[in-house]
Amino acid sequence: MEKKIAVIGGTGIDVEGEAVSIDTPYGRVEPKATKLGGEEVLFIPRHGEDHLPPHRVNYRALLWAAKKWGAVRVVSTNTVGTMSWHTVGSFVVPDDFVEFTKSRPQTFFEEVAVHVDLTSPYCPETRRALIEGAKVAGAEVHQGVYVCTEGPHLESPAQIKMLRRFGDVVGMTGYPEVALARELELCYASICIVTNPAAGMRKDAMAATEIVDQMAKSVDILLEIIKAAISRMAEERRCRCSSALAEAKL
């Protein structure tokens, strides 16, 4: 058995690889086939060549492409603002999420009622590998709740005051990926890079360029974490992700 893994790369991460083109019912995806941590990896740049804004990313196509290529596990990278005073440059591996998105297709099942269980929304095995990988890479790593906003604007201080009651970090790209992965019975976990304190949790105004600037500083260790995590992922899946649809259809 092979460990075929897809990495959905967010802002500020790219890898060398062979360009591939994967057709899906939702459109074509143009990822790269590469090797990371000694394993075959499909690297899917979330925002594509034109850097689509988070609300326009074709999340269904990305996950479908990962599955069609043969991936069983998906590692996602997401930049986040901290609502919990994490150190900028530290990492968070979410164990749960809340979402406040507005306009994104959220399911592969538009015609039938399919309700996948999200009691453990992120794959526990894949999360564990990422946390261990982060420790091996010498990174500061935390767990916590990811809050997904619609964007594309950054949040207002009052929004952050409200969202802090719901979670620890805020980003715009973690949902609906997490739920779509479950619908395809893929193991899915995210490694979030803390690029800034969220709006209002700082004296000064926020600039989107801070996110890119911090990512430039964090990308090397992020890649180290991903490689170390991949080399720790078991071939056999003992989690429940692979049978997510078994009791989900009405």
- Alpha-carbon gap, residue 59 to 184, rounded angstroms: 12
State the minimum distance, in angstroms, from the CB of residue 33 to ligand HPA. Answer: 28
State the minimum distance, in angstroms, from the CB of residue 60 to ligand HPA. Answer: 21
For ligand HPA, the closer of residues 149 and 218 by Cβ is 149
The single-letter DSSP state of residue 204 is S
Question: Residue 57 interacts with ligand HPA (CB under 6 A)?
Answer: no
Distances 102 to 147, 149, 160, 172 between C-alpha atoms, Å = 13, 8, 17, 11
Q: Which stretch binds ligand HPA (CB under 6 A): 29-37, 42-50, 75-83, 175-183?
A: 75-83
**53-62 residues labelled b (16+ CB within 10 A) or e (exposed):** ebeebbbbbb
Find all residues with CB under 8 Å of 193, minimum gap 6, and list them: 77, 78, 79, 80, 89, 91, 214, 215, 218, 222
Question: Residue 9 interacts with ligand HPA (CB under 6 A)?
Answer: no
Question: Residue 10 interacts with ligand HPA (CB under 6 A)?
Answer: no
Question: What are residue 77's DSSP bridge partners?
Answer: 191
State the sign of the Cα–Cα–Cα–Cα dihedral 49, 55, 58, 62.
Answer: positive
The site string for ligand HPA over 79-108 (x = CB under 6 A, - otherwise) reads xxx---------------------------
Burial of 224 (0-12, 13-18, 19+ CB in 10 A): middle
Q: Which stretch binds ligand HPA (CB under 6 A): 22-30, 31-39, 59-67, 76-84?
A: 76-84
Residue-wise DSSP of 150-195: --SSPPPHHHHHHHTTT-SEEESSSTTHHHHHHHTT-EEEEEEEEE
Q: Find the binder of ligand HPA among 121, 195, 226, 227 (CB under 6 A).
A: 195
Q: Find the binder of ligand HPA among 129, 196, 218, 237 (CB under 6 A).
A: 196
CB 174 within 8 A of CB 95: no
For ligand HPA, the closer of residues 94 and 171 by Cβ is 171
Residues 207-226 that bind ligand HPA (CB under 6 A): 211
Q: Which stretch binds ligand HPA (CB under 6 A): 21-29, 193-201, 223-231, 235-243?
A: 193-201
Residue count, binding to ligand HPA (CB under 6 A)? 13
Question: Residue 13 interacts with ligand HPA (CB under 6 A)?
Answer: no
Question: Residue 31 interacts with ligand HPA (CB under 6 A)?
Answer: no
Chain residues that interact with ligand HPA, rule: CB under 6 A: 79-81, 149, 154-155, 170-172, 195-196, 198, 211
